């Protein structure tokens, strides 16, 4: 296991460090025996990683560490659905016997009409009539919850090497991070093996985690390496002095109320 630390006096100057662990992804369908194939398929959504890191990188905690929670909703108009329900209630009050199946058919058919009606000729005609009489239907819009979004995290560091040897360490660290963000090519170039999994933690120099929101196992979705942002500067051997380095990650699974309350995510 390779271990990288930047800067060399990291623990002396920074009470909280950013630790990036790189873990091999467990490819269950490839590694499982035939008899375990069904179980592996059932658990295919659980993208797990090994418990021992392949590499560990310790860096200073960058500025503006932002955790953004996203929750997806869809707006649904219930104009036709409400009309169908009111019609069913009216018929019932008049003593007409309408079966449950017919009621449900009418209701869900109206829901489908609400969903698909936008942009049709009938909808355009209704718009013209609404403009003419100065009235329009209340769409009775409601929010339909879909799912939590996969959280993302983007971190940027500035590396200012003090000599060529330190620049070489930074370059080796960047190469390691980039390499494990990429997939492996197998089967004569016909198949990609998923990239490795990254675990980002913020830890105190005396041990224990910092009091920040936890970030779960993630894939690296992008890497940006910017040489000489302040101007071209190199050591005599050609090694760069200044590197701005950005990595973006996305969690492998969504969070829920329990993981937030009990797991600190």
What does the domain layout of the chain look like in residue ranges?
2-70+149-263, 72-147
pLDDT tops 80 at residue 15: yes
* 191-218 residue pLDDT tens: 999 999 999 999 998 889 999 999 999 9
Instruction: Look at residue 34 in the predicted model and tell me its pLDDT.
Output: 45
Tokens of 29: 């369908």
Reported as a single tens digit per residue, the pLDDT across 69-103 is: 999 999 988 876 565 665 565 655 665 555 555 55
Q: What's this model's pTM, rounded to 2 decimal places?
A: 0.76
């Amino acid at each position: 296991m390779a271990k990288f630390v930047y800067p060399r006096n990291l623990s002396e100057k920074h009470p909280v460090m950013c630790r990036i662990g790189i873990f091999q992804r467990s490819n269950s369908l490839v590694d499982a025996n035939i008899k375990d194939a069904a179980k592996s398929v059932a658990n295919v959504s659980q993208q797990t990683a090994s418990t021992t890191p392949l590499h560990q990188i310790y860096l200073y905690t960058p500025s503006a560490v932002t955790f953004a929670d996203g929750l997806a909703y869809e707006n649904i108009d219930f104009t036709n659905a409400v009309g169908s329900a009111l019609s069913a209630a009216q018929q019932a009050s008049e003593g007409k016997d309408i079966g449950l199946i017919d009621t449900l058919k009418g209701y869900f058919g109206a829901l489908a009409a609400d969903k698909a009606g936008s942009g049709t000729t009938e909808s355009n005609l209704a718009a013209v009539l609404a403009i003419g009489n100065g009235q329009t239907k209340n769409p009775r819009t409601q929010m339909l919850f879909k799912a939590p979004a996969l959280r993302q995290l983007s971190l940027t560091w500035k590396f200012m090497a003090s000599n060529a040897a330190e620049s070489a360490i930074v370059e080796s660290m960047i190469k390691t991070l980039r390499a494990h963000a990429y997939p492996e090519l197998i089967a004569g170039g016909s198949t990609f093996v998923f990239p490795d999994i990254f675990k980002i933690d913020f830890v105190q120099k005396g041990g224990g985690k910092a009091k920040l929101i936890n970030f779960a196992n993630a894939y690296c979705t992008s890497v940006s390496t910017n040489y000489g942002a302040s101007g071209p500067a190199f050591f005599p051997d050609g090694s760069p002095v200044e590197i701005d380095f950005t990595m973006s990650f996305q969690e492998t699974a969504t969070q829920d109320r329990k993981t937030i309350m009990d797991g600190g995510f």
